[in-house]
Structure 1
Amino acid sequence: MGMAAKAIPTTRSSLKLRPWTRCSKHIREQRARLYIVWRCSVMLMCWHD
């Protein structure tokens, strides 16, 4: 319980800039994964023909 109480103020003070950077990082990772999957599927479809 003591650790949770200590974690709350630090997260609240760091929430000013972090949510957007965390969200944009997550979006970039998802976009990269989608791009890789898309490229692999295109390569497989072209290779089959």
Structure 2
Amino acid sequence: MATLASSMSSLRGSKIRKWQGCSKQVRQQRARLYIIWRCTVLLLCWHD
């Protein structure tokens, strides 16, 4: 039973690490999209 509990806790830890990696990628993607959006707005409003 001890091995089952340890394998479950390691599985849970890997899921958390995987989610944190995905979360980091999503945050980076949102940052890139924000920068692109801001540059586009600045270029469009440049002539005004």
Whether these two folds match at TM > 0.5 is yes
Q: Among 16, 29, 38, which residue is 1:41 paired with?
A: 29
User: What is the RMSD computed on CA atoms of the aligned residues?
Assistant: 1.3
CA-CA distance at 1:19 after TM superposition? 1.0
Counterparts of 2:32 and 2:20 in 1: how far apart (Å)? 18
Aligned residues: 37
User: Which ranges in structure 2 are unaligned for 5 or more consecutive residues?
Assistant: 38-48
Moved segments of 4+, more than 2 Å: none
Provide the residue aligned with 2:15 in structure 1.
27
- Give the number of the structure whose alpha-carbon radius of gyration is greater: 2
Partner SS for 2:4: coil
Identity of aligned residues (%): 3
TM (norm. structure 1) is 0.67
Provide TM-score, normalisation by structure 2.
0.69
Question: What is the letter of the counterpart of residue 26 of structure 2?
Answer: W
Matched residue SS, 1:17? helix
